[in-house]
Amino acid sequence: MNALKGKVAIITGAGSGIGRASAIRFAAEGAKLVIGDKSDAVHETAKLIGEGVTALQIDAGVEADVAKLVAAALSTYGGLDIAFANAGIIGDMGGIFDIDPAAWAETLRVNLIGPALMVKHAGKAMVDQGRGGAIVLTASVAGLNSGAGPAAYSASKAGVINLAKTAAQQFTSAGVRVNAICPGLTETGMTKPTFDYAREKDVMHKVGQLNPLKRAGQPEELANVALFLASDQASYVNGQAIAVDGGLTSSHPVTRQLLGQTSH
């Protein structure tokens, strides 16, 4: 407990899923929060937390809104130590032969430009303070390998992974760490249709079956990793993309050999 005591954190996409779970967890660990989401559900998250939280309805891909979050942290709580750029959309669902430039641009605006804007504004505030800080970006296993999401989404998340690495280098000597988390299939608002369909068809046992743990993740499990990366416990972790996927990306596609069984 109190891993974030005395820290001020921004979290986007805090109206549901990983963002809401992280906001609740960060607050429980002592952080003061500025949380943002395009949905008014961000205010419900604030109610669940109680004191020490400021909720704003914003668009995480709009520079003025990102700057507003940073300004709120500085004016309300006197500083900024952590920024978790978590907001994202599934975006354009078309394949590479169905590319809609406008739909791709919107996916990239929210999923990649949004985190870049957080790095720009939150990072500048952290550098100006002179006490370092931690920036966490939500990428995806879809940004590591193909097959985990549509083309535009996957490309945007690959960009987030490289953004974390590039930004970590550009903050050299500033004490600002930048890392990305790469969730596997996790039950969030974005994946709700998948889980609703599985429950309707009574095939929940098949959800997540491609990873060694043979299950989907829960937002709280991702929040635990975000908390670690945001905290001083990760003081030597920088420029990394951490897969939190039940082991999905640990292997190429194979025929599994179960424990105790041998092949002939």
The CB density around residue 62, as the number of other CB atoms within 10 Å, is: 16
Q: How far apart are CA 257 and CA 235, in angstroms?
A: 38
3-state secondary structure of 83: strand
**Candidates 77, 153, 197, 236; catalytic one:** 153
Cβ atoms of residues 106 and 94 within 8 Å: no
Tokens representing 254 are 């194979």
Active site residue 236: no
3-state secondary structure of 142: helix
Q: How far apart are CA 132 and CA 102, in angstroms?
A: 37
3-state secondary structure of 60: coil
Active site residues: 153
